[in-house]
């Protein structure tokens, strides 16, 4: 049985928690897109892990962890991630595979990300400054790219870095009047990366196909959210990869046809970090209530997340383009204590009601959320483990989201811990 977990909103839906739970019954867990812009939280007992590149299944000692082709790898973050697990007595020796074709995020990518954002002023995208866009741009441009496999041949890499750095310095100087970077410094760092990471570098596509043929169960872990997809999200306020389920095949080399189940993760409300349209945003005391109660601060950057009501138009779009089979609805507990709740069931655009999400931001800017208002519940629900023990209004809220998204909600989060979960 192969499963894929995908974020259905603008990221941070709680994918890490769901992947960690499902990893218990998986042989292999795969990250296949994005980079260290991701921050996936897994809480085990009193320990809180924030995973940026390692799959969230890596906390489970029986899993084999794969970082596949389309991930952009910041070696420093990855090495730190491996060391953090080791400090918690979780070893990845013999159970981590890194694609030789995955691209490497180097210091000049992070510098370029920062300089570009700074130069854009109020028009900035609000990136995580993790070098994601510049690294993917180098991948698409091809001539100045470094892949994990290049770390195996340091002599050739040294020459390659010299030409890359020469080019980058021209850009930094001409566009940003910025200090040059030094090729030797980058190369020295690459030597350390090579020493620590080359033992894990391999052909992950071959490994995945052989494993699937051999009957192993694979869990694919999406990063970011469907609405941040480069081609299908709210461009340009997106990330630089295909973060909807459409990116799973290209990212891992395993066709979607070989995946039995796509599970979409969504919060019981909506959050977004960085710029871009957000039709159900509540930049008011409701948004602040959700932010405080749900601890809505970025796992990677610590930025406060923008918060708003559940948007069934946006989630249904992600469900449709992602062929999502069922939903995991997280953070239902965060809504406890609100007198009434709103669910966006349509957008009004130029006097017309629309239920298909317009990914074009010019249209989205004109969209007014059409809400239905439902009663909330007072009770805290973090100790509830059976759907029927939820307050009736909470049950109705979940059922209404099922109706609007036309998918069953089979997992409900009532708190950040593994155990704070309802299965239906």
Name the residues that contact Mg ion, by CB under 5 A.
Answer: 12, 39, 299
In which order are the strands placed within the sheet that holds 28-31? 201-202, 96-99, 64-67, 28-31, 218-221, 3-7, 261-267, 326-330, 409-413, 421-423
Looking at beta carbons only, is 133 or 294 nearer to ligand IMO? 133
Our finding on whether 148 is near ligand IMO (CB under 6 A) is no
Looking at beta carbons only, is 14 or 134 nearer to ligand GDP? 14
Residue choice 14, 39, 247, 415 for contact with ligand IMO (CB under 6 A): 39
Of the residues 12, 20, 138, 150, only one is catalytic, namely 12
3 vs 279: CA distance, rounded Å: 31
Residue choice 102, 228, 265, 364 for contact with ligand IMO (CB under 6 A): 228
Output the DSSP codes for 11-49: S-SSHHHHHHHHHTT-SEEEE-SB-TT--EEEEETTEEE
Output the DSSP codes for 98-152: EETTSEEP-HHHHHHHHHHHHHHGGG-----SSSHHHHHHHHHH-TT--BGGGGG
Looking at beta carbons only, is 12 or 117 nearer to Mg ion? 12
Q: Select from 36-44, 281-289, 380-388, 389-397 the region that touches ligand IMO (CB under 6 A).
A: 36-44
CA–CA distance from 281 to each of 185, 220, 362 (Å)?
Answer: 44, 30, 17
CA atoms within 13 A on the CB side of 59: 23
189 vs 362: CA distance, rounded Å: 43
Looking at beta carbons only, is 2 or 9 nearer to Mg ion? 9
110 vs 130: CA distance, rounded Å: 5
Partner interacting with residue 294 (select from ligand GDP, ligand IMO, Mg ion, none; CB below 5-8 Å by kind): ligand GDP
CA–CA distance from 129 to each of 38, 203, 251, 360 (Å)?
Answer: 12, 29, 22, 24
Least separation, in Å, of the C-beta of 377 and Mg ion? 27
Pairing of strands 218-221, 28-31: parallel
Least separation, in Å, of the C-beta of 20 and ligand GDP? 9
240 vs 236: CA distance, rounded Å: 9
In the bound state, the residue with its beta carbon closest to ligand GDP is 413
Least separation, in Å, of the C-beta of 279 and ligand IMO? 16
Looking at beta carbons only, is 51 or 194 nearer to ligand IMO? 51
Looking at beta carbons only, is 253 or 415 nearer to ligand GDP? 415
Our finding on whether 22 is near ligand IMO (CB under 6 A) is no
Our finding on whether 133 is near ligand IMO (CB under 6 A) is yes
Least separation, in Å, of the C-beta of 269 and ligand GDP? 11
What does the DSSP 8-state code read for residue 283? -
Partner interacting with residue 239 (select from ligand GDP, Mg ion, ligand IMO, none; CB below 5-8 Å by kind): ligand IMO
Site string for ligand GDP, 19-58 (x = CB under 6 A): --------------------xxx-x---------------
b/e map 261-284, b = 16+ CB within 10 Å: ebbbbbbbbbbbbbbbbbbbbbee
Residue choice 3, 8, 12, 322 for contact with ligand GDP (CB under 6 A): 12
Looking at beta carbons only, is 298 or 391 nearer to Mg ion? 298
136 vs 69: CA distance, rounded Å: 12
User: How many CB atoms are located within 10 Å of the residue 231 CB?
Assistant: 14
Catalytic annotation on 12? yes
Looking at beta carbons only, is 98 or 228 nearer to ligand GDP? 228
Cis peptide before 236 (omega within 30 of 0): yes
Least separation, in Å, of the C-beta of 187 and Mg ion? 32
Residues sharing a CB contact under 8 Å with residue 159, sequence separation 6 or more, in sequence order: none
Residue among 44, 40, 397 at smallest CA distance from 225: 40
User: How many CB atoms are located within 10 Å of the residue 182 CB?
Assistant: 12
Residue labelled with tokens 């739970």? 21
Of the residues 20, 40, 103, 109, only one is catalytic, namely 40
Q: Select from 130-138, 187-195, 313-321, 353-361 the region that touches ligand IMO (CB under 6 A).
A: 130-138
Residue choice 12, 112, 311, 333 for contact with ligand IMO (CB under 6 A): 12
> How many residues lie near ligand IMO (CB under 6 A)?
24
Q: Which residues pair with 421 in a beta bridge?
A: 413
Which residues contribute to the site for ligand GDP (CB under 6 A)?
A: 7, 11-17, 39-41, 43, 294-295, 299, 330-331, 333-334, 413-416
**Residues assigned a catalytic role:** 12, 40
Which residues contribute to the site for ligand IMO (CB under 6 A)?
A: 7, 10-12, 37-40, 125-128, 130, 132-133, 223-225, 228, 239-240, 273-274, 299
């Amino acid at each position: 049985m192969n499963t894929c977990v995908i974020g259905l909103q603008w990221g941070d839906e709680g994918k890490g928690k769901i992947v960690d739970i499902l990893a218990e019954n998986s042989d292999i867990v795969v990250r296949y897109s994005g980079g260290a812009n991701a921050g996936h939280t897994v809480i085990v007992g009193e320990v809180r892990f924030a995973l940026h590149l390692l799959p969230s299944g890596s906390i489970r000692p029986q899993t084999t962890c794969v970082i596949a082709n389309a991930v952009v790898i910041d070696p420093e973050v990855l090495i730190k991630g491996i060391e953090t697990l080791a400090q918690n007595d979780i070893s990845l020796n013999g159970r981590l595979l890194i694609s030789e074709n995955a691209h490497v995020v180097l210091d000049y990518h992070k510098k370029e990300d920062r300089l570009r954002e700074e130069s854009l002023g109020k028009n900035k995208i609000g990136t995580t400054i993790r070098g994601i866009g510049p690294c993917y741009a180098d991948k698409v441009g091809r001539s100045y790219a470094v892949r994990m496999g290049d770390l195996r041949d340091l002599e050739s890499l040294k020459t390659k870095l010299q030409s890359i750095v020469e080019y980058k310095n021209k850009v930094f100087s001409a566009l940003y009047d910025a200090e040059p970077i030094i090729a030797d410094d980058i190369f020295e760092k690459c030597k350390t990366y090579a020493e620590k990471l080359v033992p894990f570098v391999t052909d992950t596509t071959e490994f995945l196909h052989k494993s699937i043929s051999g009957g192993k169960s694979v869990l694919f872990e999406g990063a970011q959210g469907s609405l941040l997809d480069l081609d299908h999200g709210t461009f340009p306020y997106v990330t630089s990869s295909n973060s909807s389920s459409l990116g799973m095949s290209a990212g891992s080399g395993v066709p979607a046809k070989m995946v039995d189940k796509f599970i979409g993760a969504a919060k019981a409300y909506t959050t977004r970090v960085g710029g871009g349209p957000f039709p159900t945003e509540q930049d008011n005391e409701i948004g602040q209530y959700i932010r405080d109660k749900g601890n809505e601060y970025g796992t990677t950057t610590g930025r406060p997340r923008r918060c708003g009501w559940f948007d069934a138009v946006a989630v249904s779009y992600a469900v449709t383009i992602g062929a999502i089979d069922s939903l995991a609805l997280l953070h239902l507990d965060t809504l406890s204590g609100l007198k009434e709740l709103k669910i966006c069931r349509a957008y009004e655009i130029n006097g017309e009601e629309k239920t298909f999400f317009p990914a074009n931001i010019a249209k989205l800017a004109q969209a007014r959320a059409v809400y239905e208002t439902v009663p909330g519940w007072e009770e805290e629900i973090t100790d509830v483990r059976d759907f029927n023990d939820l307050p009736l209004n909470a049950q109705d809220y979940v059922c209404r989201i099922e109706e609007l998204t036309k998918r069953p909600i089979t997992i409900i989060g009532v708190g950040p811990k593994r155990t704070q979960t309802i299965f239906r």
